[in-house]
Structure 1
């Protein structure tokens, strides 16, 4: 089977594949890091950057070193687990 793509389609596919590969490399490099910056931790948990700031205002653990905020993956996971509640089934 053979596909014919115009230049724009080919460029779009190349850009998409390149973005997927870049994301995979970034995830692989952050996988072994126990502490991440706000953007990385937001991506790790699949939430917006602003959600991380909001969670921090609710008491989520944050390490501050020389004014730089770092977020521990395990600490935040434990913090989230401590806030879990059983779901209420609708009657």
Structure 2
């Protein structure tokens, strides 16, 4: 059995494959509980400098073999605790 595709069909299939791979990579990265500073900044939609600032304010940071890792759940909880403090002011 042989399948013959013209250039347009080949290009459409390539685009679909690239989209599927990119979506898979995105989903895989979102399931990791700990991310790098760059990744956590993207996750929360802020700049890397904001993550550094938040860490100086007491945001939880895990250090493993000298590498800083940022937990999505623990940072979310930390941010929520700051939100509650603001409500009581």
Q: Same fold (TM over 0.5)?
A: yes
Change (3 A) 1:52 1:63: same
In structure 2, the residue matched to 1:6 is: none
> Would you say how many aligned residue pairs link Structure 1 and Structure 2?
68
Could you say which structure has the higher helix fraction? 2
User: What residue ranges of structure 2 are gaps of 5+ in the alignment?
Assistant: 1-14
Instruction: Name the residue aligned to 1:49.
Output: 48
Give the Å deviation of 1:25: 4.6
Higher-Rg structure is: 2
Alignment RMSD, CA only? Answer: 1.9
TM-score, length-normalised on structure 1?
Answer: 0.66
Could you tell me which residue of structure 1 aligns to residue 61 of structure 2? 62
Runs of 4+ more than 3 Å apart:
none
Give runs of aligned pairs for residues 1-91 of structure 1, distance below 5 A: 22=22, 24-84=23-83, 85-86=86-87
Secondary structure in 2 matching 1:83: helix
Q: Which runs of 5+ in 1 are unaligned?
A: 1-13, 87-91
**Given the two structures, how large is their TM-score scaled by the length of structure 2?**
0.67
